[in-house]
Structure 1
């Protein structure tokens, strides 16, 4: 068990070290506390949801592993979320999908209303968190030949348009009820496995469908805003993705909406962090899904790796946190599902903290003066600065376990709650 006085003693040393290069660690800790992460509920139940939990996952989505203790009911999932959030510093948000509706009677995706999410709003109020929304466009019989909103069949498109329209009303409900804007993120799995003849037609149909969804009702953006998520390719649509990155980049720009960048949806050699500064001078803002691809979009639990560090540095150094909504998106059933939330969220916060603990103004000044020697020397030295002591202080200030002490909570929760489910 880490002792508070040891943490505070180490922090004072680190504080002095950073002060010598002009960094106020107390201010950095206050700034980091303002950054809300959007924690994805689907890590807790392997994306089964509650509308039709026995439905096979489709749309290129798959979860590996069978670690015991999976959440099977709304109460089990919210209990797990509560446990996870209690081990992550600060107050955050939770992302939902349409399939997590809690209904009194069996409903299809296109029949959902805000009332079907009252359970979640009541829980969020009790927890003190916000809610984000994702309409579910997968794992359903009406995903026909890998097509939804871009389908050539009008009845298929109409079904999914209703799903999208309903999601906007639900997201607006979240924002009104909780006093925090809800981001409503659209991702669809439409595309072809092999080379198509017509690449234009599906995209024109998708534009028409999305426009119909957006024009169905007007909502105050203080309550809700839409975001659109592209992908390079997915399982089953290797040759052609209707909702590509460039497609949604342009759609978000022309409709004045958010563009979603998922860190796992790009070619493995691309630097996702380089996209932010290219888009944000033109765009309204970003929804960022922090994930970890291994070879490809495998949604591994986020860790404190070089890709995450680059993402955090880009957002912090270019002062873009206020225009970026940071959400988590991964699922791993080979480990404790609650621990996965904690590991991914804390890694993301650590990356942001390390990015903030730098004399950014001085480094930019050196760069403007072509002093690349100073830029390289100082950024290299910063890598060994005692940011870990500042992180421990952040945990202590926010009343969450320091170091690996949080694992004791997980092991006890497994014993008392999760392992009794099987």
Structure 2
């Protein structure tokens, strides 16, 4: 099969790495890819949001499956455009992608499906939002309603923090139009987990759970990021909890989406809080998590390609995913300054030495190839230094050994990935 993966981050590197192992694969492209993806796929210079060019490339090259990595092309209608051209696409329609594109839509679907979630209210007026916050008290959660690259959520410990978040999101528009409205939620208490299920519109196939680390600093301090590291499996996410999540959240919401005439296909990423009252839905995303995807791909024993194709074609029934008994961890190396302003173009050395460590893997998230064969940093989150081992402690030791082998003075990482479980 000829496959086109859309995206250029660590998630897409992990997907390409796994797809490249499929005996069904005959050709793999990635648009636009990055310096690391180029080792396992042919990178093509087409932007992730240039929907007409992506469909034209797929049609001209006989692509038999398009795999959408990030959320942006899905919210712009990539899957619809592919299907209109007769090309199977792994990912939801533009309407179904509103599960990630709009926090309000997700809340409405969850409420209609009877799925447990935090109490919430939506505001388009900043003064009304502030009044609601003062009435509710803190801690409280403020979310930009639209897409904000994983940075539009503020868990405010005080009323003052929450009001400052309203000012930044709604008045200063630090996340652009995503902050035209906000969703304000009760602050759920418990352990967070990321759970993933493949969906074909009617059938949901459970994959696995992971736990990630959103804040930039050790001990979960500092601002939220797109994710500074993750591990899988998540010890707190037991088989009993998985069954409850499928029964009370995934399957009812999938049925609700179908009932609305917007069936969901692709991967449904449920951000969950494991509370004393049971698992509750924090949010849905409509793509694999980054960096959680890296840990899932390291653990997945099954061939990924037929699973993605079955989801895209509405034929998941009868399929199942087999997993290694191993644990996996990814430590994100980011450019100094992230998630604020940072410089691009610094040279990264030692990548071969890191990858040579047994059971270590380096997934590229924000890199470009330099003229002399060098690898240069081109983003905020730049590398996903990963490891797979029999225990989480061993995976952690290996991952940080690989981090130590990388010579990149302009980079940094958290030193405590996996602390919750270890």
Tell me the TM-score normalized by structure 2: 0.30
More RCO (CA 8 Å, sep 6+): 1
The structure where helix makes up a greater share of residues is 1
Tell me the TM-score normalized by structure 1: 0.30
Larger Rg over CA atoms: 1
The structure where strand makes up a greater share of residues is 2
